[in-house]
Amino acid sequence: MKKIAFVTGATSGIGKACAVKFAQGGYNLIITARRADKLSEVEAELKELGAEVKALVFDVRDAEACEKAVAQLDENWSKIDVLINNAGLALGMEKEYQGNLEDWSTMIDTNIKGLLTMTRLIVPGMVARNEGHIINIGSVAGDAAYAGGNVYCATKAAVKAITDGLRIDVADTALRVTNIKPGMVETNFSNIRFHGDTERAANVYKGITPLTGDDIADVALYAASAPKHVQIAEVLVLATHQASGSVIYKKQ
């Protein structure tokens, strides 16, 4: 019987890459996102790879919608082996005292509260079965703040603390908990951060070869595939010319 991986924010970037990589690794997939059309496209792609797929349309910021979606999973889908809390985003790069309150709320509700909601809904079943793996997609931004990062960095610092706290809470079980902290990854991340300013987003990656979603998905699958007695607790993944969240060498 195939294992099941549950991936939030699965329609693009790291989330989609993880869904594809786990399908290629022999998993069936539960995928979630806000847009039904994009989710259907990913569902079709995963089925072509031989995976059975359950697509759930909801926003992780809506706790009630999350609960309803998880509650509808029948016995064939409810025994989740790997939860990948990927849904997240950055919005804006204003100075903290000039920040947009709505952007802040969206980041906090998605990156922190959404992750907590999905953890609360799925991990109890893992504990009851005494098996499972939670993989949270954090960020190098959670290690130290960088200019313009303020609230986004805070949300990813929270992801680290929440991940560490969960690992402590399940230490008496066979569950494993992983925090993957990517550096510069070329996805639609910057386009979203700059509210659709494609030119500004493209400039972020000029002069450096950034990571790809596939690079992070490789790490996630490796962590999930490690022997049962091995827990990959935390992985920092940076582009070769990136030393930290704020130190990046770019060729002119």
C-beta separation of 181 from 237 below 8 A? yes
Burial of 241 (0-12, 13-18, 19+ CB in 10 A): middle
C-beta separation of 220 from 181 below 8 A? no
Using CA atoms, how far apart are residues 107 and 99, in angstroms rounded to an integer? 12
What is the sign of the dihedral through the CA atoms of 66, 33, 148 and 143? positive
Burial of 118 (0-12, 13-18, 19+ CB in 10 A): buried
Using CA atoms, how far apart are residues 207 and 198, in angstroms rounded to an integer? 17
Q: Which of 27, 97, 146, 152 is catalytic?
A: 152
**Residue count of the chain:** 252
Using CA atoms, how far apart are residues 156 and 151, in angstroms rounded to an integer? 9
Active site residue 27: no
Using CA atoms, how far apart are residues 17 and 152, in angstroms rounded to an integer? 22
C-beta separation of 185 from 240 below 8 A? no
User: What residues act catalytically?
Assistant: 152
